[in-house]
Amino acid sequence: MAEDLIPSTKKATIEEVGKNYFDDLISRSFFQHSPYDSSRFVMHDLINDLAKFVSGEFCIRLENNDSVPDNVSKTRHLCISSSICGYGDFEKRGSINEARHLRTFFREPNYLYTQRPDLDFDFFLKLQCLRVLKLSWSNVGELPDSICDLKHLRHFDLSRTSIRKLPDKMCSLYNLQTLLLRYCQDLVELPTDFGRLINFRHLDISGRNKIERMPPRMGKLKDLQTFRGKFVLDKYTGDNIVELKELEHLRETLCISGLRNAVHVAGMRRMKYLNELVLEWGGESSDADDSEKERQVLENLQPHANLKRLTIRYYGGTRFPGWLEDPCNLSNLVRLELWDCGNCWMLPAVEQLPSLQQVVIEQFNELMYIGSNPFPNLRELTVRSCPKLTGRFNLDYFPKLERLELWNVDIESLTISQESNSPKLLPLVHLTTLEIRECSKLRSLPHEMHTLLPSLTRLRIYYCPKLEPFPGEALPSKLESLEIWSCEKLIGNLKQWGLSTLASLRFLSVSFEGFADSFPDEGLLPTTLTRLYIFKISKLDGKGLPTSLKVLRICDCSELQCLPEEGLPTSLSDLNIDGCPLLEQRCQRETGEDWPKIAHIKTIRMNFKDI
């Protein structure tokens, strides 16, 4: 894009055309997905060598000890390795001052290097042909007004710098298309005349910053494609929201913050390319007195039917508008998140939205029930911090649920159809993950989980002190991961869980909190177990450790004095000991009394340090 090599068409933007080119190169193995980061790409060594050979002196990458080639007048694209720290030293290298025709100056960030290099902008101002300038992770506090002399600049990256303001004269860079200001924590504002950047397409101010409002006349950026970060409304009038109706080409995500101040709300239905919309009213829910005003604001923010993800935070209304429940208005909505809507006592009737698969509900202080009708298509449900959600939580309403998380709610039981001969006895054949945390009043899970939740592979239960023990052989046979923390009644009946029959179990994590003295008894654990995490136990029984075990972690066992006399399984390859002062002394390399018991283990860590 920065080189103007991608043609635009009537049917596709230059970004879409460029993506098609890039996807084609991936299909031909010119680029490959990085094995370490799914958002990045790499070249095979042979392809990289070929590309370097073909590009010759046209493209140069300098490492720490590299000298600048004799003839750099033909160089158009320059990348400096992160191992080169100072720009001043770099400028003095060889004939670099002859590289007056550079199109790209790209410095690789060094994420581990805390001292950021200083910049000499006089050097960059000599590069009048620059189109791409990447200075992320550099020591930039301000830009000189002369930055406007780089008339051809199209892509400018100042991410993770200490920049506070951008000079107003920067708005005369009429060719600028992309400005990246990710995680600029000191940034307080954008230039007043930002709307003059008539060719501007991409703005990224995501991450923490100090911006309190968007500049005026943002609606003039008719070609704006992406806006990452928060579109902050004026805290006194909120009138700059009207600018949004002009940005109908926005794609991907839009977050509007400060809606509590909005008056003349712009309709969002023209933004047919948006995939995700985030609506924020403020830092906390407002009083009920303002609820009707806030409901009207939300009513006027109805999005286009193409929207796939919607998040509403800190909304102060007592009820939600009708468009949120209409299958025609939100026919493509896949994910809905509702956060801290403190005055709402019931949810919108979204169960009939045809594409809805994921729902997150968090911090609803007045919410009394989830709904009385089934959610036929819901795949994932998360409910957190809803103190008035009590009684039974009926799982029959979610026949296709795959993942359920319940945090800090006062329900007393999870139930499935009580009709013993009902064909609905297997309503949750798709459920694979169940996570329950801090439900202090929860007493029971569905009986006969091994038949009612046949596909469950992961079960996590944390801080549920009243939860009754599992009945014999109640755990599903496909369970692969089981985590139980601080559940007094449940832990007390551990021997009755039938763990040894779980042929698929690979990972077990248990925090005893003093509710048991010794663990594990011989024959208690299945022979398939490979990872075992133990917290707050006073004695470890080696005879109960399966010979399949590869990873063992022992944490916060202040009374655990020694390892088992018979030692640890020879299959063990990774041992972690944290917060066990008595045991740590005995496991010191070569000198500890228990060292012979663990000397065969390949990786040993104590308090997060290798020994």
pLDDT tens profile 219-242: 999 999 999 999 999 887 777 888
Q: What is the mean pLDDT of residues 22-36?
A: 91
* Contact yes or no for 174/149 (Cβ under 8 A): no
Asked: is 224-367 a CATH 3.80.10 domain? The reply is yes
- Give dist(CA 52, CA 61) in Å, integer: 9
pLDDT bucket at 378, cuts 50 / 70 / 90: very high
pLDDT tens digit string along 550-591? 999 999 998 999 999 888 999 999 999 999 999 999 999 989
Q: HSE on the CB side for 377, CA within 13 Å?
A: 15
Model pLDDT, residue 235:
80
* Contact yes or no for 587/563 (Cβ under 8 A): yes
User: Is 90's pLDDT higher than 90?
Assistant: no
Q: 41-42 and 32-33: which strand pairing?
A: antiparallel
Q: What is the mean pLDDT of residues 187-202?
A: 94
What value does the mean pLDDT of the chain take? 87
User: Is 84's pLDDT higher than 90?
Assistant: no
Model pLDDT, residue 421:
46
pLDDT tens digit string along 155-190? 999 999 999 999 999 999 999 999 999 999 999 999
User: Is 425's pLDDT higher than 60?
Assistant: no
Model pLDDT, residue 426:
55
Please state the separation of Cα 119 from the chain's center in Å.
32
> Who contacts 289 (Cβ-Cβ below 8 Å, separation ≥6)?
none
DSSP letters of 488-524? Answer: HHHHHTGGGS-GGG-TT--EEEEE-TTS-SEEPPTT-
- Give dist(CA 375, CA 383) in Å, integer: 15
pLDDT bucket at 66, cuts 50 / 70 / 90: low
Range with lowest mean pLDDT among 92-101, 156-165, 360-369 = 92-101
Give the type of residue at 236: Y
Percent of the chain residues past pLDDT 70, beyond the cut:
90
Q: What is the mean pLDDT of residues 516-533?
A: 90
Give me the residues paired with residue 339 across strands: 313, 362
- Give dist(CA 249, CA 243) in Å, integer: 13
Q: What is the mean pLDDT of residues 262-278?
A: 86
Q: What is the mean pLDDT of residues 71-88?
A: 71
- Give dist(CA 115, CA 106) in Å, integer: 18
Domain boundaries, the chain: 224-367, 506-611
- Give dist(CA 20, CA 12) in Å, integer: 10
> CA distances (Å), 572 to each of 163, 242, 538, 598, in order?
51, 63, 21, 9
Most confident of 75-79, 288-292, 325-329, 504-508: 504-508
Confidence (pTM): 0.88
User: Is 87's pLDDT higher than 80?
Assistant: no
- Give dist(CA 239, CA 262) in Å, integer: 6
Give the residue with greater pLDDT, 361 vs 543. Answer: 361
- Name which of 520, 512, 581 is nearest 549 in CA terms: 520
DSSP letters of 205-233? Answer: --SS----SPPTTGGG-TT--EEESEEEP
pLDDT tens digit string along 396-406? 889 999 999 99
Model pLDDT, residue 58:
87
* Contact yes or no for 533/510 (Cβ under 8 A): yes
Range with lowest mean pLDDT among 106-110, 250-254, 382-386, 569-573 = 106-110
User: Is 419's pLDDT higher than 50?
Assistant: no
pLDDT bucket at 472, cuts 50 / 70 / 90: low
User: Is 69's pLDDT higher than 60?
Assistant: yes
pLDDT bucket at 122, cuts 50 / 70 / 90: confident
Give the residue with greater pLDDT, 204 vs 86. Answer: 204
Residue 541 burial (C-beta neighbours within 10 Å; 0-12, 13-18, 19+):
middle
Residue 124: CB atoms within 10 A of its CB come to 22
User: Is 4's pLDDT higher than 50?
Assistant: yes
- 534 φ, ψ to 5°? -125, 130
State the DSSP code for 314: S
DSSP letters of 103-121? Answer: SEEEE---TT--SPPB--H
Token output for 373: 């009708």
User: Is 97's pLDDT higher than 80?
Assistant: no
Model pLDDT, residue 420:
43
**Strands of 395-498, DSSP E:** 403-415, 433-437, 458-462, 481-485
Percent of the chain residues past pLDDT 90, beyond the cut:
53
Model pLDDT, residue 67:
66
- Name which of 190, 145, 139 is nearest 160 in CA terms: 139
